Structure 1
């Protein structure tokens, strides 16, 4: 029988914990030997207790290898394990190496990968920066890795897709479970232009304990980890911790002192993380780290303000990359309200301002 059938059996096996599967392969050499092993050999491995072994052997005796694998081949999903040649080398030597994962789409070669992570409840500024970073990285030929969560993750994926790049989503639930549910279209787009993957069994619900664990895979598949916005205690900092353990470079988007969404990022800066102060400069810098030549790099030219009428340029300069209210600008500028509103709407039509929330605007240029 084909060895892939035994690999699928072990990957889908729920009697053995995720962390024990690779250890068992190290001991028994491959899934075929594990499948045909006797109780005495399993006990001698010292990896499983007798109760677990009895349950494992009982369920194994009822498992129809060929039938179960055949059922899986009629799904749109694929899988990769440490026993196969396609398994990413970046996952082989990390803490708690996954035995394998399911995926939908086409796996990249995982060279030149950058992860974008950050707050789910991010600010309008965080969304904008995550989207721009994703787009420019995609244009420059990088693969963007993230977790398809609400907020920064989603905007990083969307930006990469807009830039024509490949992106990979590492889920904290089964590969066939779309979470959050509003990301249904994004899930489909990622599968068409990259891959959605998960070490969890198909059908696994998104429970809180799964997400910190999956973060080690996000960082491991990446060469560089970017944190856009993060509170002092957040999942993004867990990803950063994994990245440090794995020897990856970490960059952060700095934020305002006292802003809770920036406290985690600013703390990482104090610990020596790189700072993204200009996206084009950052792309060029990491291209050197990843061995990409300047010819590979395509960067977006900044919008020119030279063609703006002086009145519009004056109003534009009152705003910044953080939401600013019309009432604040009224005080600063001394302008008439209707005159200011007219100029703001004109700048919005030109794509130079965007309304972050009611009567609060941010720069887009």
Structure 2
């Protein structure tokens, strides 16, 4: 008997809520017995009235088990359900656990996982921290979990990929729907080193209501949730709330007081979240939490960035900028340089990749 036939049917069945699916599994033991249950047996479970039992049986009869599963096998995707012993144990005891997951790539064992979440419209500072944390945590052997959204999520994934680590993206759409579309290359790279996964049916659009539900899976698969830049009302705080309910630790990259991107982070700090004030010390904190030494492993294949040689004037100008946008007028006042001379040095630094113009005459430092 091919159990996957019945598991795939049960996973595809959208007439039944997750909660009812779990109760049916408790009553009938597995999807095979649910599929073969008679009308009287279904009603005897006290989970169906006569009308819903009739509808259930009618829809079941329309589902061609072999044809449907064979068609799925011809796609690059896979699926796993809670009836499978390899289903992530971390998802079994959360509120409203998914019956199954579709995925592309290879699922890790989820034994040492940290999620990195944050603002979609993050600052240069948020980008730097998310990428650095993703990279250093990957070197230390952690799997990075996030949602592949623009901003912090994407930079966390990219940092992990830079270190040739394993990363998992949990989507708020079908596993075959790339959202946002400009993350197509990232999607493909994640699938090669880790996995893209979703609880939603194939082809499901990225509807707004899907993302809060998605976040409970991001936090559940993680041992620790790291928040890098979050507004007062954001999806990152929803993830943090799920993490608290699930008994997970939360760490936050602090931000500047009064900055809208820091409001959510600083609020979490006031509520007792751990603070990340350097990547090195965060790794030391992880050693305490995991009860064993955690240190960054040097990746021999990592490309070393070579800082360009700067003149004295270029070094002075570069040091006047930081990871938050700063206007030329501010730097002009601080440097007391001639405007044309300052502009010349700024443009030279921009060509070297050391400064980036975020918007008109406002630059941020690009560290190498």
Instruction: Give the C-alpha shift of residue 342 in structure 1.
Output: 3.1
Instruction: Give the C-alpha shift of residue 313 in structure 1.
Output: 3.3
Cα RMSD for the two superposed structures: 2.4
Instruction: Give the C-alpha shift of residue 346 in structure 1.
Output: 4.0
- Kindly tell me: are residues 364 and 270 of structure 1, through their superposed partners in 2, closer, same or farther at Cα, counting changes over 3 Å? same
3-state SS, counterpart of residue 320 of structure 2: coil
1:139-179 deviations in Å (ceiling 9; x for gaps): 22211111111221112112211221111010111111111
TM-score by length of 2: 0.92
- In structure 1, the partner of 2:116 is 116
3-state SS, counterpart of residue 176 of structure 1: coil
- In structure 2, the partner of 1:239 is 239
1:297-354 deviations in Å (ceiling 9; x for gaps): 4499x9999x755433332332222111111110122111222223334444554433
1:17-48 deviations in Å (ceiling 9; x for gaps): 23322222122111111111122222232334
- In structure 1, the partner of 2:6 is 6
Answer yes or no: is the 8 Å Cα contact 2:18–2:97 preserved in 1.
Answer: no
Instruction: Give the C-alpha shift of residue 278 in structure 1.
Output: 1.2
Structure 1 distance, partners of 2:118, 2:188, is 22
Give unmatched runs, 5+ long, in structure 2. none
3-state SS, counterpart of residue 109 of structure 1: coil
- In structure 2, the partner of 1:323 is 325
Q: Does 1:66 align with 2:62?
A: no
Structure 2 distance, partners of 1:294, 1:276, is 15
- Kindly tell me: are residues 219 and 345 of structure 1, through their superposed partners in 2, closer, same or farther at Cα, counting changes over 3 Å? same
Structure 1 distance, partners of 2:353, 2:257, is 29
Structure 1 distance, partners of 2:189, 2:99, is 27
TM-score by length of 1: 0.93
Give unmatched runs, 5+ long, in structure 1. none
1:219-246 deviations in Å (ceiling 9; x for gaps): 0001111111111111111100000011
Answer yes or no: is the 8 Å Cα contact 1:224–1:251 preserved in 2.
Answer: yes
Which segment drifts farther, 7-16 or 265-274?
A: 7-16
- Kindly tell me: are residues 46 and 141 of structure 1, through their superposed partners in 2, closer, same or farther at Cα, counting changes over 3 Å? same
Instruction: Give the C-alpha shift of residue 50 in structure 1.
Output: 3.6
2:346 equivalent among 340, 344, 347: 344
Answer yes or no: is the 8 Å Cα contact 2:115–2:219 preserved in 1.
Answer: yes
Structure 2 distance, partners of 1:183, 1:304, is 28
1:86-122 deviations in Å (ceiling 9; x for gaps): 1011111111111111000000111211111112222
3-state SS, counterpart of residue 55 of structure 2: helix
- In structure 2, the partner of 1:289 is 289
3-state SS, counterpart of residue 212 of structure 2: helix
- Kindly tell me: are residues 95 and 294 of structure 1, through their superposed partners in 2, closer, same or farther at Cα, counting changes over 3 Å? closer
Which segment drifts farther, 191-200 or 284-293?
A: 284-293
Answer yes or no: is the 8 Å Cα contact 1:113–1:223 preserved in 2.
Answer: yes
Which segment drifts farther, 110-119 or 191-200?
A: 110-119
Structure 2 distance, partners of 1:295, 1:244, is 26
Structure 2 distance, partners of 1:143, 1:187, is 16
Answer yes or no: is the 8 Å Cα contact 1:125–1:323 preserved in 2.
Answer: no
